Structure 1
Amino acid sequence: MASKRGKDDYSGVPQKKIRLKTDVDFPTFPERLLNKTTSSLYRIIAASDACYTLTALKICNCNAGDIEKGNLFSNAHCSVLPIAPAHVFGSVFEVGIDILLDYLHSEKIPRIRLMWDLLKMLVEYLSDTESQAVLENTAPNCGESDLAMLLTNHLFSLLAFVPDYKVNKDTMVTSCPCQIQECISKENHGDTSIGNEKVWHGRVDILFDDAVIVEPVHESVEESLENEHISETKWHVSFNKEHIIAETIVNSFLQKNLEPDEISLIPCIGVTKTDLIFYFYDSTFDVLLESLKVPILVGRVGHYKVNMDAILTSWLVINTRYLSNGLTEAMRAKKADFFAQTRSKLAVYQENLKIGGIGAPHQTRMSCVEVDNTDPIRQRNRKLFDIMKNECLNRNTSEVKYF
C-alpha cells in the first residue's frame, strides 16, 4: 500500500525550507507504465478532441443571497450557463504538470521536500497493484455513495499529502465496501458541516483535511420534449449539480477565511457510478469551473483496470493547494457573477463562514406595518365609518367599535 504522511511530520519546519540531499529512498518508476502515463498526461494538457477540459460557468440566478432565510445545500438553487471557450484541464495545474513532466522526460526529482513527497506518492500508487485491484474488483458493483467511500480509502487518501478525512455519518455508509478489516474498523465519522445559517450551509459527505470535498453525484434519467411542436421524446441525465456547486462555492470562501495567504481556487470531487467530475471556485476572482467527466475504470466486464486519467487528475485535484498555479488570465475574465447574485449577503460569505457546529437555517420574516395614508380606498373607509357611527347612535349605543 502507498505510504501516508501527515502535515506535522516535519516538526513545524516550513516545507519550502526542507531540501533533500539524496534520492536513495525515491521509488523506481514502473517502466511498463511509461507510455500509458505519458498518453494520459497528454490528454490533460493538450488541446485535442480527446483532451479533458474545464469550462467556466456563469450563474444566471440562485438563492445564495436569499434575504429572508439561509438555505441548506440540499435546497440550493443555482442556474448556470457555460462560458466559451473551454480550457485545457492542466491549465490550472502547471506546478504539478511540470513536476511530472520533468520526472518522465529526464527522471528529474524535485529538490523541495513537499514536492518530493507528492511525486513519491503518485509513483508509489502507480505500482500499488493491491489498491488498484480493490477498485477494479469492487467499484463495478458500487452505488455512488459506496464508490465515493471506496475511492476515498483506495485512491484519494493514498494520493493526498494530508490523508485525514471526515465522513458525514448521516448520509454516508458506515464502512468501506471493500470489506477489508483495516477499512471497516476506521472511525472517521465527524461533523462535516460548513457555511453559515444565514446563507448556504449544511453537511458535506466527505471532507479531506477540512479543505477538499468529495461528494456522491446521484444521477437520474429524465424525459423531456424538444419543444411543444415536436413529438420526439429526448432523454437526458441530470444530477445534483446545484448542490455540488453550492458546496464548492461556500468551501472556497471558507478556505480563504481560514488560509488567506493560500491559493483561493478550491476543488470539489464529484463521484458518479462510473466517473469523476471536478468543480472549482475561486472566491477571489469569482470564477466557477466544471470539468468533463473522467471515467474511473476502463476495459470490459471482468477485465476492468483503473483509468490512468483518473489517477493523475485525482492526484492533481486532491493536492490542489500545492500543485495548482491558480487561474489563467483568460479564466479570470470569465466571472460567475456570484458576487452580484448574493448582494447584501456577500459579506457573510466573505467574513462569517465557519466549519463545524452549523445549525438550522436562520429565518428573518419580512413585514411592513406602516400603511400609506394616500390610498384612495381609505376615503371610502371614512364614509363606511360614518355610516356605522350613525347607526350606533340611532340605537343609543355609546360605544363605537372600529373594524
Structure 2
Amino acid sequence: MATMLSNRVGLAALRDTLNIFNRNFTHHKKPNFTKDLRMALENYTELHLRPIKIQQCDFGTEPFSRVSLEYKEYTIPADERRCASHRPACNTKNGNVLLEVKFSKVFEDGFKSLKDYVYNNGRMDSGGLGHACALSSLLVFLTELHKHEQILQDGFRRYSKVVNPEIYIATLLTNHLLSCLVFGSQYRISDDYRDQPPFCPCKDTTCDRHIVYGQTSIGHGDVWYGRPDVLLFPKQKENVYMVPLWYINTQDEENEEMEDIHSLEMKRHSKFEKYASQVLSQAIIFAFYQSNLLEERRIEPLSTLVPSLVITPDQYYIIMYDYKRDILLSNEHQVSSLWVDNGLNLSAILDIWMVLNYKDFTPHLKSSVAQGLDGSSNFHGILKSRNIFDETKRIRMLRYTPSKTYEDEENMIVQDAYTYFE
C-alpha cells in the first residue's frame, strides 16, 4: 500500500511539473519543444528492422572484437496466397520473402505516449510514472536542442584529429545526447579507455559535468565476453534495466587492421559487415545478461526483446534480441542519419529516446509475428549443437577478462511482417 501511495504521489508531482512547464509559456509564444515534438511525430522517418540468421560462429577464448560470426538476412519461402493478398504485383521468383518490422510497431507504447501528450494540449493524463519521467527528459532536451547540437558539432571538429579521439567523442555523445534522454541522466563509461578526462571536454562554460567511469564487462568465457563502451540506465531503485552502447569512430580515414581494439576505434572504411560480428555478439550476450539479472532480482520481464545501440558521430544502428524466442533484429541495411540539414535528426532522437527508455515503452512484436519469426536467429540451435546453451544462464557482469554473408536480394520480396503474418 505504501509503495502504491508513493507511486501515485510521484506521478501526480511529475504531472504537475509537466503542466507547470507548459504554463510557463504564453499563448502568444508557443514553446519550441512542443513544436519540435509535433514536427518529429508528423515527419517521422520510419526505421525498418530486419531479422538476422546466424549461419556459423565460434565460441570461447575470443572476446567480442574477435568473434567470428557469419550471418545473413533471414528469409522464408514465399506464401503465394499471402503475397497475392498484400502485394499483387510483387515478383515471387526464387520463392523467397525478406521480412521487416517497423520500429513504430515495436515501440507502439512510446509513440502512443507522445501522441497523447502532443494532441492533448500539452497534458499527460495516462501512461504511468515511467512514461512521465521519460517524457520530462525528452522535453528538457528539446528546450536545449540547439545548444547541444552546437556543442556536439564543435566537439567533433575539435577532437577529430587528436591522438586518441575515442574517449572525447564518447563523452560528448554521452553527456550531450544520450544521458539527456534518460530520467536522472545516469550512465557508466567503460573504465578501460586509455584517457579518462574527469569532466566533459565540451569547453562550454555552463557545462561542468563530471564523467562517470566504471566496470562494463559482461559475458561468459565459454560463450562470448567483452565490454560495452557505455551503459545507460534510467534512475530507478532496481537498476536492472540498462542499454549498452558501442561507439564507432568514423572520423579517422586511416586504413588500420581491426584487431583487439576498442569498438570506437573502427574506422570510416569499415561498413556494417566489418564490425557486425562484434556488435551482434555483444547485443545477444547483453540480452541474456539482462534476463539473468531480472531473474536474480525476481522481476518478471514485461518483454524479452532487449535493445542495444551502435552510434557514430553521423549515424546510429539499433539491434534487438529476443533471448526467449531467439529473434535477432537490426536496421543495418538502412542508412539512419543522426543529422539532417546540419541539425540533429528528430526521428533519430525519438528512436534513441524510446530505446533508452525501453523499460517503460515496452518493445514487443505482435504475437503472430513473434510466432512466425520464432527461432529465426538460429543462435539457440547453434548453442545447443555445441552443448553450451545452459552456459547462457551464467552470463554475468565480469570483474575480469576471460581468456556477412547476404543472399542476392534482386529477386526477393520485401514484406511488412505485420501484414504478412495476418
Same-fold status (TM-score > 0.5) = yes
Q: 1:74 aligns with which of 49, 65, 81?
A: 65
Residues 76 and 236 (structure 1), Cα distance of their counterparts in 2 relative to 1, 3 Å cut: closer
What is the letter of the counterpart of residue 237 of structure 1?
A: K
Residues 142 and 265 (structure 1), Cα distance of their counterparts in 2 relative to 1, 3 Å cut: farther
SS in 2 for 1:71: coil
Deviations 1:189-242 (A, max 9, x none): 2111101122100122111236211101256899xxxxxxxxxxxx98344111
**Within 5 A, what are the aligned runs for 1:185-224?**
186-209=210-233, 211-218=242-249
Tell me if structure 1 keeps the 8 A contact 2:15–2:132.
Answer: no
Q: 1:151 aligns with which of 165, 170, 173?
A: 173
Residues 86 and 172 (structure 1), Cα distance of their counterparts in 2 relative to 1, 3 Å cut: farther
Q: Which has the larger radius of gyration?
A: 1
Residues 325 and 360 (structure 1), Cα distance of their counterparts in 2 relative to 1, 3 Å cut: closer
SS in 1 for 2:202: coil
Tell me if structure 2 keeps the 8 A contact 1:280–1:288.
Answer: yes
Matched, 1:258 2:300: no
Equivalent residue for 1:352? Answer: 394
Alpha-carbon distance in structure 1 between the residues aligned to 2:50 and 2:206: 39
Equivalent residue for 2:279? Answer: 244
Matched, 1:138 2:155: yes
Alpha-carbon distance in structure 2 between the residues aligned to 1:165 and 1:100: 24
Equivalent residue for 1:114? Answer: 130
Cα drift, residue 245 of structure 1:
0.6
Cα drift, residue 41 of structure 1:
2.7
Matched, 1:125 2:141: yes
Alpha-carbon distance in structure 1 between the residues aligned to 2:277 and 2:8: 38
Tell me if structure 1 keeps the 8 A contact 2:136–2:183.
Answer: no
Alpha-carbon distance in structure 2 between the residues aligned to 1:270 and 1:207: 12
Tell me if structure 1 keeps the 8 A contact 2:307–2:321.
Answer: yes
Q: 2:377 aligns with which of 336, 342, 363?
A: 336
**Within 5 A, what are the aligned runs for 1:45-56?**
51-56=46-51
- Unaligned ranges ≥5, structure 2: 75-97, 234-239, 256-268, 404-422
Deviations 1:327-358 (A, max 9, x none): 22314532211101112111111x11111313
What is the letter of the counterpart of residue 365 of structure 2?
A: L
Residues 13 and 267 (structure 1), Cα distance of their counterparts in 2 relative to 1, 3 Å cut: farther
Alpha-carbon distance in structure 1 between the residues aligned to 2:57 and 2:4: 42
The percentage of counterpart residues that share the same residue type is 22
Q: 1:313 aligns with which of 339, 344, 351?
A: 351
Residues 162 and 199 (structure 1), Cα distance of their counterparts in 2 relative to 1, 3 Å cut: farther
Alpha-carbon distance in structure 1 between the residues aligned to 2:54 and 2:134: 35
Residues 125 and 21 (structure 1), Cα distance of their counterparts in 2 relative to 1, 3 Å cut: closer
- Unaligned ranges ≥5, structure 1: 1-9, 45-49, 223-234, 362-403
Q: 1:97 aligns with which of 94, 111, 117?
A: 111
Matched, 1:41 2:58: no
Alpha-carbon distance in structure 2 between the residues aligned to 1:151 and 1:320: 19
Residues 203 and 23 (structure 1), Cα distance of their counterparts in 2 relative to 1, 3 Å cut: closer
Equivalent residue for 1:232? Answer: none
SS in 2 for 1:255: helix
Cα drift, residue 166 of structure 1:
1.7
Alpha-carbon distance in structure 1 between the residues aligned to 2:380 and 2:8: 34
Alpha-carbon distance in structure 2 between the residues aligned to 1:25 and 1:340: 50
Residues 184 and 168 (structure 1), Cα distance of their counterparts in 2 relative to 1, 3 Å cut: farther
What is the letter of the counterpart of residue 231 of structure 2?
A: L
Alpha-carbon distance in structure 1 between the residues aligned to 2:113 and 2:317: 24
SS in 1 for 2:278: helix
Alpha-carbon distance in structure 1 between the residues aligned to 2:14 and 2:226: 46
Equivalent residue for 2:406? Answer: none
Higher relative contact order (CA 8 A, sep 6+): 2
Deviations 1:270-324 (A, max 9, x none): 112311111111101111111234322222xxxx222212211111011112112
Alpha-carbon distance in structure 1 between the residues aligned to 2:270 and 2:289: 34
- TM-score w.r.t. the length of structure 1 is 0.72
What is the letter of the counterpart of residue 308 of structure 1?
A: L
TM-align CA RMSD: 3.1
- TM-score w.r.t. the length of structure 2 is 0.69
Residues 257 and 121 (structure 1), Cα distance of their counterparts in 2 relative to 1, 3 Å cut: same
Alpha-carbon distance in structure 2 between the residues aligned to 1:272 and 1:25: 34
Alpha-carbon distance in structure 1 between the residues aligned to 2:32 and 2:205: 31
Residues 316 and 77 (structure 1), Cα distance of their counterparts in 2 relative to 1, 3 Å cut: same
Alpha-carbon distance in structure 2 between the residues aligned to 1:11 and 1:74: 44
Equivalent residue for 1:278? Answer: 318
Equivalent residue for 2:196? Answer: 174
Tell me if structure 2 keeps the 8 A contact 1:212–1:268.
Answer: yes
Cα drift, residue 124 of structure 1:
1.5
What is the letter of the counterpart of residue 285 of structure 2?
A: V
Deviations 1:112-160 (A, max 9, x none): 2222121111111111143333124334555583433212111111111
Tell me if structure 2 keeps the 8 A contact 1:15–1:114.
Answer: no
Alpha-carbon distance in structure 2 between the residues aligned to 1:170 and 1:128: 31
Cα drift, residue 37 of structure 1:
3.3
Alpha-carbon distance in structure 2 between the residues aligned to 1:99 and 1:354: 33
Tell me if structure 2 keeps the 8 A contact 1:110–1:116.
Answer: no
Tell me if structure 2 keeps the 8 A contact 1:16–1:114.
Answer: no
